[in-house]
Amino acid sequence: MKSFAMLAVLAACEAPAVVAPTPAWIADTSTFTPGGQESAALVDQYRGVADKIIAYAHADRGAYAKLSTLTDTIGHRLAGSPELDKAIAWAAQAMKDDGLDVHTEKVMVPHWVRGAESGAILTPTARSLHLIGLGGSVATPKGGITAPVVVVHSFEELAKKGEAVKGAIVLYDVAMPAYTDADGAGYGTVVRYRFGGPSAAAKLGAVGAFVRSVTAHSLSTPHTGSTAYADNVPKIPAAAVSVEDAELLDRLSQRGPVTVHFELDEQQLPDVESANVIGELRGSDKPDEVVVIGGHIDSWDVGQGASDDGTGITMMMEVLRVMKQLHLQPHRTIRAVLFVNEENGVRGAKAYAEAHKDELPKTVMALESDSGGFAPQGFHVAGVDKDATARITNRVAAIATLLGAIRATRVRSSDEAGTDVDPMKAAGVPQVGLWVDGRHYFDYHHTDADTLDKVDPQELADCVATVAVIAYIAADMPDRLDAK
């Protein structure tokens, strides 16, 4: 759901034409008739084991129990924090306790630390702002910044402001589209202002940058997230303001000059050592062939990191436990990877792809969940090219017909299946993402509201069932998902 591929576009500090990809192919497979004898045989072969997995996982609450421990006793887990270290140790021990083969793999991660933050409108009316620093932001000078606000609604409008931006705080008041089932929440259409907005404003002489929080719904809650500074452009302090405050500043600016003061006491410290956590269920006779299932263990330093991405890692941990409990051992190895540093660097994903580059030709699927543990809908699929995507999609669609009991029967193709599995794509690894009902994900994404109470135990259990079915079949079926 959160792509860092666009970061490269920001080096020139211009307005990147980033648009959320519209799925090229969407199907509800609840009435799907498998195409060809191969698909029909696949469905017939695995119907019994799929029903067994679904029945067990649907009634299981192991993932929710793990999530409760993670969120309530450890909490949020930003890269470089003591909480992340605790989460890594906890996850490794939990999987060992479940009888799995477990190890960690060293990853050096960035260490950005949030300090005291505040903001207020000074004129034409005095009131505080709901504000949060963007991840990676530099600090304000001692005593903060007081400056006029220039409101823009696009990069094109920013360029037209020209000299008016010099010495000002630029506010990007760009509304995020509401969720639609066809194209997601429109995240990609607005997150570019958070990534590249500060440097684009600095290039024109701005002294600070605000972005409207990346959400379609708000209760005066600001949303953090990474920003990226371009080379050869001054680094200016950057923060998100709540939707309500962004709209207020916009309205006030239409009446006349607006002055704001804000302070951020952030620090960028040297990189520190962290780790990916890896648990395995070894294959019976093809252990060197691997199915990867994963999510990211880090989170932002607000809330509890429950939906982003505590649900993702705990469902993958529980998938392996469920298979152990059901005495299921597929031909290939199923490997749960809890990637570190997805939120502000993707170092874990890149390190995994590099460390396992010799294995990638034999990695038959990489599946990711990073959209919350909501009711599963099915899968989105990405291959290295159009033909590979079509082959993978056809086989995944056949597998999805086995998930009718939990209504996770939908399949769509996409350009990307997940940020943490994407580095494996160049090696030809088939990519699959868990598709969930994401209507409320961005309501509390990257905020203090990302807490355990937003997670429904039954929906999370059904996510476990959905992933377990496809992971088992991909690990056990005669051919790869992308076999010609």
Q: What is the pLDDT of residues 94-139, one digit of tens each?
A: 999 999 999 999 999 999 999 999 999 999 999 999 999 999 999 9
Q: What is the dihedral of CA 301, 303, 307, 313, to 10 degrees?
A: 50
As given in the structure block, the two tokens for residue 265 are 């006491």
pLDDT value of position 141: 98
* Cα separation, 451 vs 304, whole angstroms: 5
* Cα separation, 477 vs 469, whole angstroms: 12
CATH superfamily of 32-111+270-476: Zn peptidases (3.40.630.10)
Stretch 390-397: mean pLDDT? 93
The fold adopted by the segment(s) 115-265 is Glucose Oxidase; domain 1 (3.50.30)
Residues forming a β-bridge with 123:
259
Catalytic residues: 342
* Cα separation, 467 vs 349, whole angstroms: 20
The answer to whether the 32-111+270-476 and 115-265 domains have the same CATH topology is no
CB 35 within 8 Å of CB 451:
no
How many residues are listed for the chain in this entry?
484
- What tens digit of pLDDT does each residue of 268-297 get? 999 999 999 999 999 999 999 999 999 999
Q: How confident is the model at residue 26 (pLDDT cuts 50, 70, 90)?
A: very low
Is the pTM for the entire model greater than 0.85?
Answer: yes
- What tens digit of pLDDT does each residue of 425-456 get? 999 999 999 999 999 999 999 999 999 999 99
- The structural domains of the chain, with segments of one domain joined by +, span 32-111+270-476, 115-265
Q: How confident is the model at residue 8 (pLDDT cuts 50, 70, 90)?
A: very low
pLDDT value of position 39: 81
Q: Which residues of 37-54 are buried (b: 16+ CB within 10 A; e: fewer)?
A: ebbeebbeebeebbeebb
Q: How confident is the model at residue 469 (pLDDT cuts 50, 70, 90)?
A: very high
